[in-house]
Amino acid sequence: MDFDAIRKLIDTLIEKQIDEFELEEEGRRIRIRRNVPPTVVAAPAPAAVAPASAGANAGAPAAASADDGLVTVTSPLVGTYYESPAPGAPEFVRPGDQVDAGQVLCIVEAMKLMNEIEAEIAGEVVRKLVTNGQPVEFGQALLLLRPRA
């Protein structure tokens, strides 16, 4: 399957509102997924900490994890992660940025196609989990977002 055929296939899937498609032909496999819901990361419960001194309040609850309630943005395909639209251009987002649903967060390049990865929710970019130019796998965590309250 050549580049033009793949592009036409993607356009057809978008037009027909098909969210997932997989094709195997002549030993090559193509999987296209879109509108993948965000994955919520559940942080483990914090461990109880023994008081440091006799004067410490032994009945105080342990502090909550800073990662509670964060949403993980994952890669919908295998490819290369890019944090900006072109070499030398400003990054799409940085930790601390507020984003809206539908806003482009990064690009994953696959087979010379630049796939824009958009925020599924409005919130704050907490952390990038991959570096610019890094190969990524399907389902790999790319960024963490804190949902807007």
Question: Domain of 18?
Answer: 1-35
Q: Is 26 left (phi over 0), alpha (psi -120 to 50) or beta?
A: left
Lowest mean pLDDT among 46-50, 66-70, 138-142: 46-50
Q: What is the pLDDT of residues 73-90, one digit of tens each?
A: 999 999 999 999 988 999
Q: For residue 140, which phi and psi values (nearest 5 degrees)?
A: -70, 140
| Rounded Cα distance, 142 and 8, in Å | 28
- 29 and 80 assigned to the same domain: no
Residue 133 clears pLDDT 60, i.e. is over it: yes
Residue 82, domain member (yes or no):
yes
In this prediction, residue 105 carries a pLDDT of 95
Return the residue matching tokens 């037009």: 15
The CATH number given to whatever domain includes residue 80 is 2.40.50.100
Give the max Cα distance, the chain.
72
In this prediction, residue 36 carries a pLDDT of 53
Beta strands 39-40 and 123-128 are unpaired
Number of domains in the chain: 2
Contact (Cβ atoms closer than 8 angstroms) between residue 120 and residue 101: yes
Q: Averaged over 56-65, what is the pLDDT?
A: 41
Residue 31 or 134, more confident: 134
Q: What is the pLDDT of residues 3-59, one digit of tens each?
A: 777 778 777 877 777 777 777 777 777 777 766 554 444 444 444 444 444 444 444
| Rounded Cα distance, 78 and 83, in Å | 16
Residue 51, domain member (yes or no):
no
In this prediction, residue 7 carries a pLDDT of 79
Residue 87, domain member (yes or no):
yes
Question: In the chain, pLDDT over 70 holds for what percent of residues?
Answer: 77
In this prediction, residue 49 carries a pLDDT of 46
Residue 135, domain member (yes or no):
yes
Q: Provide the β-strand partners of residue 25.
A: 28
Mean pLDDT of the chain: 78
